[in-house]
């Protein structure tokens, strides 16, 4: 019934709207059920819902009126919040309340849809190992860290989805650090701190996103410390995400940081060119858009910072194309990319580029800079290159250390501190760094 009704509405919409609009915004809609007069439609994301409501609601209403579907109205649910459906002999199919034990997971965020590359391979492998045997190996806690929009939340939900699929009896609790804090505050306000504690401490797998936002929240940290201890001692799996390596975090209790560092920390780096191309091709395919390779290559060359920007560019192209009734061509792509990154030309930069530039200006061979020599002039060039990799590329301490001969993050921290001090005391060091920065086209 629901499928037939939606099929009729889509056919009418096709007479009102361009074909690419139908494929972009209406083909992904899934008719779930009819509840009384409500046609329940599932959409992939909140963005989809907002876009359809703000731009195509009147078209849907017009189609319902044209088809004389008297009294029928549409109600959207988001796939991450999909409710179970039960059969009622009198009412037919009606949405039922979700069990409180079923976590709110984004089912689009699974391991199969995660684009793997050298920048995230270890993180994905560790996440899959945890999902297969939660709490059974030394990866507890597992902390996935890296910059904004690189796929940390995707992996967090992928773990939950895999466990839910293979071990449905496991109790999964997933929350952002903000939600954990809000739940705790509400527990205090309503004198229900025991219920709050039970909500999280009964988890078999606890997934917490963006733990850096616990900074400065002393009571919340205290609660999380006890929650962490209870679950860890009971052999329950804990997975956390953060914007940086736990050892670099400030504003968190030392004993909490000590717990974080007792497990496995894996980082995700910005995607390289090939991974960016793969992500764009996958995103375009999922949205039913056929983009020529030269356009994908153009976007991948200019959008370098994170996956969210790449996906946002595809969505922006779809939105501009739908609103302006315009085909996606190179001119439109250039406009959208320019909106997002500005007019300054960009190019791929890597740690190899930084080392090469330092080598050119210092006269120290590249293999010497990344090698193990302790000669004073080589050490200074090496420390300068480490400083620039951290400050220009925003690379993590561990990845910089790995590139420079497998050194640990404390060595990199010492190098950065040394160059900071030399910059203020020695004019030539500051000028040297400014010249390298300028020649690498970062202003």
Over its length of 443 residues, how does the chain's per-residue pLDDT go in tens digits?
Answer: 788 899 999 999 988 887 777 877 888 888 888 877 788 888 877 667 777 887 788 889 888 888 888 778 888 877 644 343 333 333 333 333 343 445 678 888 889 888 888 888 899 999 999 999 898 777 889 999 988 888 899 999 999 999 988 888 889 999 888 888 888 888 888 888 888 888 898 899 999 999 988 888 889 999 999 999 999 999 999 999 998 888 888 888 888 888 888 889 999 888 877 888 888 888 888 777 778 887 888 888 777 767 878 888 888 888 877 777 777 887 888 888 877 665 444 445 678 888 988 998 888 999 899 998 899 999 999 999 999 988 877 777 877 888 888 888 889 999 999 998 888 777 778 888 887 877 775 43
pLDDT for 241 equals 94
Question: What pTM was estimated for this model as a whole?
Answer: 0.57
Report pLDDT for 441: 53
282 vs 292: CA distance, rounded Å: 13
Predicted pLDDT at 102: 54
Residue 130: name the closest of 120, 119, 115, 140 by CA: 140
**Structural domain spans, the chain:** 2-95, 111-268, 273-341, 351-439
What CATH number should be reported for the domain whose range is 273-341? Answer: 1.10.8.60
Beta strands of 36-135 (E only): which ranges? 38-43, 73-78, 85-88, 92-95
Contacts of 309 (CB under 8 A, 6+ apart): 149, 303, 340
pLDDT of residue 79: 61
* pLDDT tens digits for range 341-367: 654 444 456 788 889 889 988 889 998
Distance, first Cα to last Cα, the chain:
60
365 neighbors 359 (Cβ within 8 angstroms): yes
Q: Which residue has the tokens 């703000």?
A: 54
Classified by CATH at the fold level, domain 111-268 comes out as: Rossmann fold (3.40.50)
Alpha-carbon distance values, 310 to 110, 253, 280, 288, 302 (Å): 18, 36, 7, 16, 10
Residue with tokens 């967090």: 156
Which are the contacts of 361, defined by CB distance < 8 A and separation ≥ 6?
432, 435, 436
> For domain 2-95, which architecture applies?
2-Layer Sandwich (3.30)
Q: Of 3.40.50.970, 1.10.10.10, 3.40.630.30, 1.10.1750.10, which CATH number belongs to 351-439?
A: 1.10.1750.10
């Amino acid at each position: 019934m629901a499928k037939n009704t939606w099929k009729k509405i889509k056919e009418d919409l096709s007479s009102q709207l361009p074909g690419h609009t139908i494929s972009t915004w209406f083909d992904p809609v899934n008719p779930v059920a009819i509840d009384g007069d409500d046609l329940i439609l599932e959409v992939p994301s909140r963005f989809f819902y907002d876009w359809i409501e703000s731009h195509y609601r009147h078209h849907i209403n017009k189609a319902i009126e044209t088809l004389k579907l008297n009294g029928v109205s549409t109600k959207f649910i988001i796939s991450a919040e999909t409710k179970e459906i039960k059969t009622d002999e009198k009412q037919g199919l009606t949405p039922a309340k979700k069990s409180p034990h079923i976590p709110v997971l984004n089912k689009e965020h699974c391991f199969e849809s995660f684009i793997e590359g050298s920048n995230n391979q270890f993180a994905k492998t560790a996440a899959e190992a945890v999902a297969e045997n939660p709490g059974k190996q030394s990866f507890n806690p597992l902390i996935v860290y890296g910059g904004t929009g690189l796929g940390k939340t995707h992996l967090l939900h992928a773990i939950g989805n895999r466990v839910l699929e293979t071990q449905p009896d496991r109790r999964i609790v997933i929350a952002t650090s903000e939600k954990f804090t809000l739940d705790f505050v509400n527990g205090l306000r309503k004198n229900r701190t025991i219920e709050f504690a039970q909500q999280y401490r009964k988890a078999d797998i606890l997934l917490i996103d963006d733990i850096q936002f616990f900074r400065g929240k002393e009571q919340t940290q205290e609660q999380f410390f006890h929650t962490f201890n209870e679950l860890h001692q009971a052999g329950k799996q804990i997975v956390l995400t953060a914007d940086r390596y736990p050892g670099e975090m400030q504003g968190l209790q030392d004993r909490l940081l000590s717990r974080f560092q007792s497990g496995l920390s894996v980082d995700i780096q910005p995607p390289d060119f090939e991974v960016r191309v793969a992500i764009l091709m996958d995103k375009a395919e999922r949205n039913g858009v056929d983009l020529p390779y030269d356009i994908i290559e153009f976007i991948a060359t200019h959008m370098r910072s994170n996956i969210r920007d790449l996906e946002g560019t595809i969505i922006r192209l779809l939105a501009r194309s739908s609103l302006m009734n315009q085909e996606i061509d190179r001119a439109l792509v250039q406009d959208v990319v320019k909106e997002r990154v500005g007019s300054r030309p960009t190019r791929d930069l890597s740690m190899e580029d930084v080392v090469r530039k330092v080598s050119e200006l210092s006269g120290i061979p590249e293999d010497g800079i990344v090698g193990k020599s302790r000669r004073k002039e080589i050490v200074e060039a090496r420390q300068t290159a480490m400083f620039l990799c951290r400050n220009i590329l925003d690379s993590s301490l561990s990845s910089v250390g790995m590139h420079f001969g497998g050194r640990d993050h404390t060595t990199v921290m010492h190098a950065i501190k040394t160059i900071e001090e030399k910059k203020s005391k020695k004019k030539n060091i500051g000028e040297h760094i400014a010249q390298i920065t300028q020649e690498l086209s970062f202003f």
